[in-house]
Structures are given as C-alpha cells and as structure tokens.
C-alpha cells in the first residue's frame, strides 16, 4: 500500500484549510491521529455501525444497524415458527459483537453468538433440542460475522480482502453453523446474511440526533482550536477525548458485560455452558 500522508499534509497546507474533520471508526481515526502528529489540525467524529470505537458510549450508525437487524429478525420469527425451522441471521460487526448482542436481545433471539465468546456447537444444539422437546420446534439464532467455534478460526471469504486495509473479509459463519447444526438435529436450518443492508437507508431518530450533536460540538471544538481530539458521547454529555487515547483501539463486548448477563438471565444461550 502506498504512503501518501506527506502529500496529504502538503495539499492541506497549500489549500490553506483550517481543520481536517475525520469521520469514521478506529482505523480512520488512527489515520487522523497520525496526520495530527504530522501537524494537521484534526478533530475526530465517531461513526461506525460496529460501535467498536473506544472512549465513546455510542457511534452514530450503530443504532440504525441494530434496528435493521432487529426488523429482519422479527420477520424470520414468522417463517421459523410456521415451518418449524432453525433460522440463522448473520450480521456485521467485524471482531465485536455489539450489533448481534443488542439486536438479538431486542429481536427475541434464542441463541446469540458473538466473537467475544467462542461457541461450542454442542451447546447451541442443546438449546435447540430443549426448545424442541418443550414444544417449540423452531429456534432463532443471531450470529455476528466474527463469531467462531471454540478452538476454531474466523470464517472468511477465502479470496476477498478489504481493498483499503488489506485484511481478510469476514463472512460465512452463518452457513458454516447451519451445516454443523444439520449434522446433529433433525430440523430444517436456513441462513440469512443481512450484509450491507445494515449500512444504508434512513437513519433512526437516535442516530440523526447523535450525529447532529457530535457534528455541532466538533465545529465548536475546532473554533476553540482544540485539535487532536475526538468528540465523544459520554451520556448525557458530549465531550472531547484525545485521539491518542483511542486511535487504533477496538472496543469489544466485555465478557462481564451487563448486556450478556441480561441475555443469559432471560434464557438466551450465548454458545457456552450456562444452564
């Protein structure tokens, strides 16, 4: 990959610009921080559906992606229940399970699999079998694209690489999981991969308000020459946090998260042995 940062700095200075606003996730803001170190006046704004950026409660785009995934799960319930099927919904999120976890809880998933908790297929099948034996021969599974089997590897598109970051493209764990389940239980299993539908369309009201708040505060910070920072939601306030404290860091779901405890307390299986 070619290095153009010095040229970017040269062009910025040639155009006599006042501020570079970097909008994106941990990768984009890491680049923004490097440009700040090279002397550019940089303000960061957290925007990623993955919600995996450190030092902010939420990134805008996340709640919209959760709503899209929740709506899809609501629709899958209908077919799963009427046809006695195991329905798997694979969602995005890369190496963090925020979308799968929140949408899975909101959408009534019976099983949620996230990267932070490597799953055992035996535990997944056990939950499905318990539901079948109890008179509910259908199950809804929410799986994050970065989820993987205990002792196994991430499932990736074998020949696909992210053209900008040069990293393997995640995807396919839903189909892989379906084959694992089919081998162990006599039920039809179907997989839906939601893909880039999560990344577009009309934002939720929450994301519209959050984006507006962050953008407004970014302009205010720039006007006060508070460069080298990112605007951040620290509920209920919007604050500034140094780019050096968050650039390049991925915020994953803590295994002690109250969200995980909530899911398991209402009977959702997370792919591990909790009964």
Q: What is the pLDDT of residues 39-56, one digit of tens each?
A: 999 999 999 999 999 999
- Domains, in order of start, for the chain: 5-60+203-245 (3.40.50.450), 63-201 (3.40.50.460)
Cα separation, 95 vs 75, whole angstroms: 26
Count of C-beta atoms within a 10 Å radius of residue 100: 29
| Dihedral sign, Cα of residue 183, residue 184, residue 186, residue 192 | negative
| pLDDT higher than threshold 90 for residue 257 | yes
Contact 103, 69 (CB under 8 A): yes
Q: Check: pTM over 0.85? Answer yes or no.
A: yes
- The region that residue 267 occupies, defined by phi over 0 for left and psi between -120 and 50 for alpha, beta otherwise, is left
Cα separation, 66 vs 137, whole angstroms: 26
Contact 231, 106 (CB under 8 A): no
Cα separation, 104 vs 268, whole angstroms: 9
| pLDDT higher than threshold 60 for residue 22 | yes
- Residue 162, pLDDT score: 54
Please tell me whether residue 173 adopts helix, strand or coil conformation. Answer: helix
Question: Over the stretch 129-173, which tens digit does the pLDDT of each residue have?
Answer: 999 999 999 999 999 999 999 987 777 775 555 544 566 777 789
Contact 145, 106 (CB under 8 A): no
- Residue 64, pLDDT score: 96
- Residue 274, pLDDT score: 62
Q: Give, as one character, the DSSP assignment of residue 47.
A: B
Q: Please, which pLDDT band fits residue 96 given cuts at 50, 70 and 90? A: very high
Q: Give, as one character, the DSSP assignment of residue 243.
A: G
Cα separation, 47 vs 223, whole angstroms: 21
Instruction: Point out the catalytic residue in the list 18, 50, 133, 162.
Output: 50
Q: Give, as one character, the DSSP assignment of residue 56.
A: -
Class of residue 27 by CB neighbours under 10 A (exposed 0-12, middle 13-18, buried 19+): middle
Q: Determine whether 237 is an active site residue.
A: no
For residue 42, the cross-strand partners are 20
| pLDDT higher than threshold 60 for residue 275 | no
- Residue 266, pLDDT score: 95
Q: Which two tokens stand for residue 118?
A: 């490597």
Cα separation, 171 vs 155, whole angstroms: 6
- Residue 198, pLDDT score: 85
- Residue 208, pLDDT score: 97
The residue that leads in pLDDT, 100 or 163, is: 100
Please tell me whether residue 260 adopts helix, strand or coil conformation. Answer: helix
Q: Which positions ≥6 away from 108 have C-beta within 8 Å?
A: 73, 74, 77, 140
Q: Which two tokens stand for residue 95?
A: 């190496």
């Amino acid at each position: 990959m070619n290095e153009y940062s010095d040229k970017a700095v040269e062009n910025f200075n040639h155009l006599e610009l006042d501020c570079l606003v970097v909008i994106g996730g941990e990768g984009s803001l890491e680049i923004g921080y490097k440009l700040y170190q090279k002397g550019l006046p940089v303000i960061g704004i957290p925007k990623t559906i993955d919600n995996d950026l450190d030092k902010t409660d939420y990134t805008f785009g996340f709640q919209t992606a959760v709503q899209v995934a929740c709506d899809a799960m609501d629709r899958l319930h209908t077919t799963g229940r009427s046809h006695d099927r195991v329905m798997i919904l694979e969602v995005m999120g890369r190496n963090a399970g925020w979308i799968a976890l929140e949408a899975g809880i909101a959408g009534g998933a019976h099983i949620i699999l996230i990267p932070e908790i490597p799953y055992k297929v035996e535990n997944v099948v056990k939950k499905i079998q318990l539901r079948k034996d109890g008179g509910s021969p259908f199950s809804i599974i929410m799986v994050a694209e970065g989820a993987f089997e205990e002792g196994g590897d991430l499932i990736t598109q074998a020949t696909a690489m992210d053209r900008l970051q040069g990293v393997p493209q995640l995807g396919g764990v839903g189909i892989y999981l379906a084959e694992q389940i089919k081998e162990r239980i006599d039920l039809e299993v179907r997989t839906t991969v939601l893909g880039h539908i999560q990344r577009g369309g009309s934002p939720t009201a929450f994301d519209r308000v959050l984006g507006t708040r962050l953008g407004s505060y970014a302009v205010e910070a720039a006007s006060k020459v508070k460069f080298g920072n990112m605007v951040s939601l620290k509920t209920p306030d919007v604050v500034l946090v140094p780019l050096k404290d968050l650039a390049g860091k991925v915020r994953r779901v803590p295994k002690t998260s109250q969200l995980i405890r909530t899911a398991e307390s209402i009977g959702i299986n997370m792919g591990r042995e909790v009964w």
